[in-house]
Amino acid sequence: MRIEFGSWDMVAAKWVLGLIPSEALPRIATAALEAGLDSPSLRQLAGELHPTLGTEGPLFEEILDEIGVGIPDRSRAGLVLARAHAADITTGTLSPYEGACQIWSIESDVEGLLPDLGSFVYWASEWQDANSPARRQECEAGIRKAALDLAPPDYGAA
C-alpha cells in the first residue's frame, strides 16, 4: 500500500530520518484507514487535530509495529531513501544530477553510507565542476550506472 510519503517501508525510513512532520501523521493514519487497515491506534491518530512529535510520535511508532513495519536504524533508512532516489533516476522520474544531489544529501546526513553512496557524491561533484556539455553527459552516465547498481530494474519487485 502506498500513502502520501510512499510505501510503508519508505514512511518508516522517512520517519527515522525526521522527514515526516507531525502535522502529516493524522493524514497518514487516515489514508491507512481508508485503505482498509484498522486499529484503535490508527483511529486515535487520525482524529488528532494538533499532533506533536512528542505525543503522537510514539503512537505512530506503535502503529508501524501493529501493521508489521519495522523501524529501521538510520543507516538502513538512508539506504531505503537513497535506493528510491536511484530508482527514480533509472526511470527518468528524477534527473541524474538532481537525484545524485539528493543521495549526496542523504550520505552527508547519515553516517557510514559513503561506501554505498560515494559514487553519487563523486559524480555530482564532477557534474558541478564540468566545463563542457560532453563532460556533464559523462557524469550523468556515471550517475545512471551508479543508480542501476544501487537499484536494479527489478528493485522493489516482489
44-61 residue pLDDT tens: 999 999 988 888 899 999
Task: Dig out the grid coordinates for 85 from the structure.
Answer: 532516489
**What is the CB-side half-sphere exposure of residue 14 using CA atoms within 13 A?**
19
**Confidence at 10, pLDDT banded by 50, 70, 90:** very high
- Which residues, other chains included, contact 65 with Cβ-Cβ below 8 Å and sequence gap of 6+? 71
pTM, two decimals, is: 0.85
Rounded mean pLDDT, 110-117: 90
Q: Quick one: which of 85, 105, 106 has its CA closest to 94?
A: 85
Extended strands (E) in the chain: 2-3, 6-7
pLDDT over 90 at 134, yes or no: yes
How many Cβ atoms are within 10 Å of 156's Cβ, its own excluded? Answer: 12
Question: Regarding predicted confidence, which is higher, 54 or 82?
Answer: 82
* H or E stretch covering 82: helix 74-91
- Which residues, other chains included, contact 39 with Cβ-Cβ below 8 Å and sequence gap of 6+? 63, 66, 67
pLDDT value of position 158: 43
In terms of average pLDDT, the best of 81-85, 111-115, 150-154 is 81-85
Mean pLDDT, the chain, as a whole number?
91
Rounded mean pLDDT, 85-100: 96
Question: Regarding predicted confidence, which is higher, 24 or 3?
Answer: 24
pLDDT over 70 at 33, yes or no: yes
pLDDT value of position 153: 75
The residue assigned the cell 532516489 is: 85
pLDDT value of position 4: 66
**Confidence at 62, pLDDT banded by 50, 70, 90:** very high
Q: Determine the Cα–Cα distance for residues 118 and 135; give it in Å rounded to an integer.
A: 19
**Confidence at 144, pLDDT banded by 50, 70, 90:** very high
